[in-house]
Amino acid sequence: MKKNPKDLLDKVCDLVSNLFRFRGIKEPEKKAFQIIKSGKAEKKFREIIEAQGGNRKVKPEDIPVGDKKVKIHSARGGFVLWINNSDIIKLARTAGAPKDKGAGIVIHKKIGDKVKKGDILFEIYAEKAYKLNRALKLAEEMDVYGIGKKYEMMLAKIPKEKNNSYFVLER
């Protein structure tokens, strides 16, 4: 298994294990991790790339990014409390994604990260200057990141109901 960011690996394993759990697969977390570790997941991903007309041997560094970019900095220090994913999507689309292959967003700070005033939160890439300018103007109007003093967030799974009895109401 290649070096993956731990939070990405955790998120992927969590999502996959939930799907496995719905299917009744035993030890879903272990099974999900094994599939990723073995390389089966990446192999399937590359098959999908090829089936869609892409190069199955592509590497992240092979994908060109737009030559126009702007860095978005934090206006204050604290912790990243939230990121508005809908706004990130709007910014990427305004910059030209997905039609312009070099357009998109690179996230530098994630939820829970400590930031200082002036730190780069994210970068917007575009192939055309007018699209980058539109995205920058839009970013200035949005609250894409929530920066605060204290990182308090509790994520919990909802426990499975103990009473599994069901009934069918017939008319």
Q: Is 32 left (phi over 0), alpha (psi -120 to 50) or beta?
A: alpha
Q: Please state the φ and ψ torsions of residue 26, each to the nearest 5 degrees.
A: -75, 145
Q: Specify the DSSP class assigned to residue 24.
A: T
Between 12 and 7, the higher pLDDT residue? 12
Do 87 and 137 share a domain, yes or no?
Answer: yes
How would residue 150 be classed by pLDDT, with cut points 50, 70 and 90? Answer: confident
Give residue 1's pLDDT. 41
Q: What three-state secondary structure class fits 83?
A: strand
How many structural domains comprise the chain? 2
Structural domain contains residue 169: no
How would residue 2 be classed by pLDDT, with cut points 50, 70 and 90? Answer: low
Do 100 and 54 share a domain, yes or no?
Answer: no
Q: Tell me the average pLDDT across 144-156.
A: 74
DSSP secondary structure of 102-159: T-EEEE---TT-EE-TT-EEEEEEESSHHHHHHHHHHHHHS--EEEES-------PPP
How would residue 79 be classed by pLDDT, with cut points 50, 70 and 90? Answer: very high
How would residue 97 be classed by pLDDT, with cut points 50, 70 and 90? Answer: very high
Q: Please state the φ and ψ torsions of residue 118, each to the nearest 5 degrees.
A: 95, -10
Do 70 and 47 share a domain, yes or no?
Answer: no
Do 54 and 75 share a domain, yes or no?
Answer: no
Do 89 and 142 share a domain, yes or no?
Answer: yes
Structural domain contains residue 36: yes
What are 21-69's pLDDT values in tens digits?
A: 999 999 999 999 999 999 999 999 999 999 999 999 999 889 889 999 9
Q: Which residues pair with 124 in a beta bridge?
A: 70, 105
Do 124 and 136 share a domain, yes or no?
Answer: yes
Chain-wide mean pLDDT for the chain? 89
Give residue 37's domain range: 6-60
Structural domain contains residue 156: no
Structural domain contains residue 170: no
Structural domain contains residue 162: no
Structural domain contains residue 134: yes
Do 19 and 55 share a domain, yes or no?
Answer: yes
Do 101 and 34 share a domain, yes or no?
Answer: no
